[in-house]
Structure 1
Amino acid sequence: MRRYGPAVLLLLTGAAILRISLFSELYLRYVQPALRPYLVVSGCVLVVLGAIAAVTGVVRRREGAQDEGHEDAGCHDHGHSPRIAWLLTLPALALLLFPPPALGSYSAEREAERRAEQGVGTFPALPAGDPVELTLDEFGSRALYDSGRSLSGRTVRLTGFVTRDDDGTWYVTRLLIACCAADASTSKVEIQGEVAPPVEAWVSVTGTWRPKGGLGAEAAWPPVLDAVAVRRVAEPANPYEKR
């Protein structure tokens, strides 16, 4: 069976990639939507290569069985992949059968409070009507850097998962990615005025911005929302915001 190891590994990996990218939206836990076509193509290529490797292995085995001069072929089987190589199938099986969840509160809490340097300036006006739906990144940018104070007097709605400090302060949090989950960074907003739901729960929070600190100052982070309503929601298909 060792001669079929590469074929099995290729087939499992290709099937796993196709499962999360072609037959579901699980790939959104790991990469941006724009990368879906590349994943589908990669999965198809791996499946085709695995099938070719399997067929080639069967043909070679039959040819070997018909060759009377290779009765001791079993003595030279060391040229095939060692048995330990089969361990490489475990990650492919895990992805195929038990896809890992999206990054959550653990990743957010481990993220240092590092934010890209942005200049203070005037932001475009918010859309008319309240509440206005904002991403956490946009809310944070306006709260910290908007000299026009466009959030003042507006009711906003933010969606994310719950994280909490040891002192009980809680946040609605979202992870931002530029390409894939490996480059994730954290965006969060402190929530005041409502009881915290369970950690990791996805919520939609409606409220008004509470100014604190000076524009661009470290004291202004994280921004604060005085909540008037907190509603539990289902985790979205794409749990990340684009950075």
Structure 2
Amino acid sequence: MRRYGSTVLLLLVGAAVLRISLFSALYLRYVQSGLRPYLVASGALLVLLGVAAGVRAAREAPDEDEDLHDHGHDHSHATGPRLAWLLALPAAALLVFPPPALGSYSAAREDAQRAAQGIGTFPALPAGDPVDLSVAAFTSRAIYDSGHSLKGRTVRLTGFVTHGGGDRWYIARLLVSCCAADATTSKVQIRGADAPATDTWVTVMGTWRPKGRLGSSAAWPPALDARTVRRVEEPSDPYEKR
């Protein structure tokens, strides 16, 4: 069985990659949608390499058995192959139990340090209420828009629930440039409504409540006076794009 170790490992990793990218949308928990073709190609290549390694091992098996018969068993490398099997555990876990998307724990770890964007005037919002905005777009306008384009407008935001100190709660979304490893958090404090359970996905409709001086730490996180809070299913692509 030891001679087929590399075969099994390649097949496990390849199958795991294909499962999340070709046969489902689970890959969106880890990378942006544009990387799907590369994941599919990588998974297929790994499977092909695994098959090739298996065929090669099967062809070499008679020669190895003859050498062992002539020279006796060699146990000098027994520990190495056994430890190498540990590499198969992450691949098997990804194949059977893919981890969930980042959520409230990741959001809570990030400090209120925001990238320097500078205060300025933002483009006008579309006519009609409510206006559907991403959490990132809302936070940017609330903190940096000197034209106060959110004033008097009803907006609708969707995100997952995270809790702060006391009875404070927020809806948050994670932004990615390439993959989950570079994710940063945008969040909005919700006022005037009871808090759902942590990591529940909700759509909140309400109006912006100004706070703090534009561009200052006092303006973060922005606040929304809620009119309605409606529970929704987690979207297939849980991350917002920069």
Pick the TM interval, shorter chain. over 0.9
Distance 1:182 1:78 in 2: 40
Alignment of 1:76 onto 2:93:
no
> What is aligned with 2:232?
233
Could you tell me how far apart the structure 1 residues matched to 2:60 and 2:137 are? 60
Deviations 1:174-230 (A, max 9, x none): 111111111111110000011111111000000000111111111111000000000
> Normalising to structure 2: TM-score of the pair?
0.96
Secondary structure in 2 matching 1:160:
strand
CA positional deviation for 1:70: 4.8
**CA distance in structure 2 between the partners assigned to 1:112 and 1:64 by the alignment:** 59
1:169 alignment partner in structure 2: 168
1: CA distance, partners of 2:203 / 2:72: 64
Q: 1:237 to 1:171 in 2, by over 3 A?
A: same
Match of 2:93 in 1: 94
- Counterpart code for 1:168: D
- 1:50-129, aligned counterparts within 5 Å? 50-65=50-65, 67=66, 70-72=68-70, 75-76=73-74, 78=76, 81-129=80-128
Q: Which runs of 4+ in 1 moved over 2 A?
A: 62-65, 76-81
TM-superposition CA deviations, 1:29-57 (whole Å, max 9, x none): 01111111110011011000011001100
Residue in structure 2 matched with residue 36 of structure 1 by the alignment = 36
Q: How much is the aligned-residue C-alpha RMSD, in angstroms? A: 1.4
Note the residue ranges of structure 1 that are not aligned, 5 or more in a row: none
Structure 2: gaps (5+ residues): none
- Aligned with 1:9: secondary structure? helix
Q: How many residues are paired up? A: 241
The answer to whether the 8 A contact 2:112-2:217 is kept is no
Seq. identity, %: 65
